[in-house]
Amino acid sequence: MGGSLLRHVRNDLPASLVVFLVALPLCLGIAVACGAPPVSGIIAGVVGGLLVGAASGSPLGVSGPAAGLTAIVATGITELGGFEALLGAVVMAGVVQVALGFLRAGVIAYYFPSSVIKGMLAGIGIIIILKQLPHAMGDDLDPMGDQSFDQPDRMNTFQELVHAAGDPAWGAVLITLACLLLMLAWERPAIQGHPWLRYIPGPLLAVVLGLLMALGFAQVPALAIGPGHYVSLPDLRDPASYALPSFQAIGTGAFWKVAFTIAVVASIETLLCVEAADKLDPHKRNTPANRELFAQGAGNIVSGLLGGLPLTQVIVRSSANIQSGGRTKLAAMLHGLWLLVAVFTIAGLLRMVPLASLAAVLLLVGWKLTKPALFKAMWAQGLPQFLPFILTVTFMAFTNDLLRGVALGLAMAFIHILWKNYKVPFHYDPHRYKPGMPIYIELSEDVTFLNKAGIKRTLAGIPEGARVVIDGKRSMDLDPDVREIIDDFAATCAERNIRLQLMNLPERPGAEAPSEATMLAVPNP
C-alpha cells in the first residue's frame, strides 16, 4: 500500500500544500460561524486528513469540517447547553455512521441522477464565487468558511457583495487580480509542458505572491491591508483553547436528536460529495460508498473525542485537490499532516497570508466548477436533463443550501420519471395493431406502481368491441396496484363489448377471476 501511495508523490505533494492552504482558513471560519472554539475546526481538518484520508477508499476526496453542518452545530450547542455536550453528540453520530456502513446504506449514493450531481457542483461553484468576492475586495465581515445565505454579520450574501463593492480595499483587489493572473498563466502549455515547473502548483505560488505584495503594500498607505484581512490563527498552545466531550445529556431526547441529525446530514453530504468527486476525477475511479461511511463515522468518533467539529467529505477541498493535480489519497492525508505541523511551527508566517490571495485560489476553483461550457452541455442533452440541473443550480445559488437544492433536483427528476411512465404505455406497440386483430399488451419484468398511470390510460383508451391480450409471461414482479387496475378493466369489458384474454398473470389473493363472458381465447400473435 505504501508503495502505491508514494508512486504519485510528485503530484500529491504539491496538491496537498494547496489543499492545506485552502483548508486552513475554511476550518477556522467554519468553527467561528458555528460559535465553536477555532481550534475545533483545525482538529476536524487534521482528523479528516490523517484518519479519514487513510481509511477512505476515495482517491481524491478530502474530508474536514463542512459548512453544510454549521447551522446544525450552532443549534446543537444551544439545545444541549454547551460545546462539550455537542462533542458527545458528534461521537455518537460517528457510531451511527459506522452502523450505516454495516447496513450498506451507502448504496443510496448510486441513485443520485447525474444531472443533479452536476447541478450541485455548478451550484457550489457559484456559491464559492459569491462568498469569496467580498474577501477579494477586502471585506471580511463574514467568516471565510461560512456559506450560509443569511450570514453571522446579519447581511445576506448579496447584501455583502453590495457592501464590499461600495468600499473596496484596493490593496486586496490588486492582490486578488495578480494572484488570478499568475494562476491562469501557470496553466498555459508552456508551463505545464515543462519537465519540473508543472509540479509546482500555481495556487501555492499565488499565495506566496499575495504574502509578498501585502508586505510591500504595508509601506503604501493607500494600498495597506487592515489587520483583519489576514488568516486569523489563535494560539493553539493554550490548553484553554481545547474542549473534551461530555456525555451527561446522553439520556435526553435532545442529545439523540442532535446526534442522529448530524449523522444523517453528514452521511448524505458525504455521499453526494463522493459522487461529485468521482465525476471530477480525470481517471473516473469509483469510491466504495459503504467504506466511506465507515471512514467518516470513525473520523467523527475521533474528532468528537479530541474536541473537533463533525466532518464530512467536502467538495471545495476535493475540487482544489483535483484541480491541483492530486492523484491518490496521499494528498488528502498530507494536507492533514501539514495542518497539524504548521499551526504549531509556522503560525506566525500563516498569519501573514492575506485572505485576498486565498480568495483568488477559491475563485478559480469556483469558476472551474461552473464554467459556461457545462451549462451548454447540459442544455444540449435536452430538457429532461437540463431542468433538474438548472433547478438545483438556481436554488443553491439563492439559498446556499446544498441538501435542499439537491432535493429539488431529485424531485424534478422523479416528476420526469412519473411523466414518462404515464405518457408511454408499457410494452404496448400501437403500430402492431390491425383491424380484426387483438391489441397485444406485453408487461415487462418489473411492473411497479410507477406504471399505474400509463397502463390505466392505455386500457381506458381501448375502443369498444376490440379484442385485447394482456400477457405477463415476462413479468417477475407485478405490483398489486397494477393488478387491481387490470382486474377492474376486466370487470368492465362486458359493458364495453371488449373481449379480453389474460395470459400468464399471477392470481391476486382473494380476488375473483374474470367471468367467462369477458374472456376470449385468441391466438398469441
Q: How far apart are CA 312 and CA 109, in angstroms?
A: 14
Residue spans in the chain of domains classed CATH 3.30.750.24: 430-518
Q: Measuring CA to CA, which residue among 466, 386, 394, 381 is closest to residue 430?
A: 466
* pLDDT for position 523: 38
* pLDDT for position 51: 96
* pLDDT for position 423: 52
Q: How far apart are CA 417 and CA 448, in angstroms?
A: 12
Instruction: Work out the number of other CB atoms within 10 angstroms of the CB of residue 521.
Output: 7
- Distant-in-sequence, close-in-space partners of 152: CB < 8 Å, separation ≥ 6: 32, 33, 142, 143, 146
Per-residue pLDDT of the chain (525 residues; tens, 9 = 90+): 555 677 889 899 999 999 998 898 888 888 888 888 889 999 999 999 999 999 999 999 999 998 888 888 988 999 999 999 999 999 999 999 999 999 998 888 777 788 888 888 888 888 888 888 999 998 887 777 666 777 777 777 888 888 888 889 999 999 999 999 999 998 888 888 877 877 788 888 998 999 999 999 988 888 988 888 888 877 777 777 788 999 999 999 999 999 999 999 899 989 989 988 998 899 888 899 999 999 999 999 999 999 999 999 998 899 999 988 899 999 999 999 999 998 888 888 888 989 899 889 889 888 988 889 999 999 998 888 898 899 999 888 887 777 778 888 888 877 777 666 555 445 455 555 566 677 888 787 677 777 777 788 788 878 888 888 888 887 777 788 888 888 888 888 988 888 888 888 876 555 454 444 344 433 333
* pLDDT for position 18: 92
403: burial class by Cβ within 10 Å (0-12, 13-18, 19+)? Answer: middle
Which DSSP letter does residue 49 get?
Answer: I
The CATH superfamily assigned to 430-518 is STAS domain (3.30.750.24)
Q: Dmax over Cα atoms in the chain, in whole Å?
A: 100
SS3 state at 409: helix
Q: How far apart are CA 408 and CA 359, in angstroms?
A: 29
Helix intervals (H) in 137-250? 157-166, 170-186, 189-192, 202-217
Cα of first residue to Cα of last residue in the chain, in angstroms, is 61
* pLDDT for position 520: 44
Q: Measuring CA to CA, which residue among 405, 395, 400, 401 is closest to residue 157?
A: 400
Helix intervals (H) in 281-371? 289-306, 315-323, 330-345, 347-350, 355-369
Q: How far apart are CA 68 and CA 303, in angstroms?
A: 17
* pLDDT for position 302: 97
Task: Describe the chain by its helix, strand, coil percentages, rounded to 5.
Answer: 65, 5, 30
